[in-house]
Amino acid sequence: MRTYIKDYILLTIGALIYAFAIEAFFVPSHIIDGGITGVSMIINKLTSKPLGMFIVAINLPFVILALQKLGKRFVFSTFYAIIIFAIGVTWFGGVFHGQCIIPDLELFLASIFGGLILGSGVGLVIRNGASLDGTEILAIYATKKIPFSVGEIIMFINLFIFTVAGFVYDWQHALYSIVTYFVAYKTMDVVIEGLNESKSVFVITDYSEEIGKDIMEKMDVSVTYIDAEGGYSGAKKRIVYCVISRLQVQKLKEIAKETDPRAFIAIENVYEVEGVRVKKRKI
């Protein structure tokens, strides 16, 4: 129950941050977001009807569609986040009345700082198991019919939306919308994956015991030995595996190369680490 309560508190905060970015930066500056929110903003511009109404109405069919593939919990969380977002847009719209939070803010700064705030809100929502945009759900289903990935389909949809925005607003604002989308996308990555990016390291060597011992003693990092077999030679080997921070990468390379200059080292990004680290025994 605590986990559910925490998730929904964070979903609420994320959706409200997103709504704040839209009304405090984007609407006054005539910059749009991608996806369903961007479509809603264009229709709102053409009809002057409430933005929150379009956000819920256009997203609703996609949320229902997600029920078959993504599960009840995701659908309920997504619907909740969208409702909070729509309420937030309506409330913040009444607070700012179409005026930027910072008077006479340049378009470039509005696109950058608005994108940072928007990406933070959306990232927080995604990190807690929901979505604020039906285009992702549409893209998941579309991959079954057309030979493109989810990311490529979303990119095509957004390019179409920004092109339409060029006709509805003007091309300068459409281009700034693309800048905003890029900033928001990168910010979402940071929020979802975290700043403390770790590295998983595989060291393939004939001196696994010595290198593993040195890593544990000199870096205070626990290692795991994985039994393997050489593809060409057929020789039995033990791979040294560990997870370290990115600041420790160079130190580990030096330790491995000191013992075996021919050691093969493979390093991958790790965005989340859970569990208890096994510490070295004290004798």
Give the pLDDT confidence score for residue 282 in this predicted structure: 43
Q: Are 115 and 29 in contact (CB under 8 A)?
A: no
Please give the pLDDT value at position 112. Answer: 93
Q: In the chain, where are the structural domains located? A: 2-193, 198-270
| CA pair distance 154, 182, nearest whole angstrom | 13
pLDDT tens for the chain, 283 residues long, are 788 888 899 999 999 999 999 999 999 988 988 889 999 999 998 998 899 999 999 999 888 887 776 778 888 888 999 999 999 999 999 898 888 888 888 889 999 999 999 999 988 888 888 888 888 777 777 776 777 766 678 888 888 999 999 998 889 988 999 998 889 888 887 787 665 567 899 999 989 999 999 999 988 888 999 998 877 878 888 899 999 877 788 889 999 999 999 999 999 887 666 665 555 544 3
Residue-level pLDDT at 82: 93
Instruction: State the pLDDT at residue 195.
Output: 56
The count of other CB atoms within 10 Å of the CB of residue 200 is 14
28/97 Cα distance (integer angstroms): 9
Euclidean distance between the first and final Cα of the chain, in Å?
42
**Domain 198-270 is in which class?**
alpha beta
Supply the pLDDT for residue 224: 93
- How far is it, in rounded angstroms, from Cα 258 to Cα 270? 26
Q: In terms of residues, how long is the chain? A: 283
Quote the pLDDT of residue 81.
Answer: 92
Which of 72, 93, 115, 81 is CA-nearest to residue 28? 93
What pTM was estimated for this model as a whole?
A: 0.73
Contact (CB, 8 A) for 84 and 12: yes
The string of DSSP codes covering 217-232 is: HHH----EEEEEE-TT
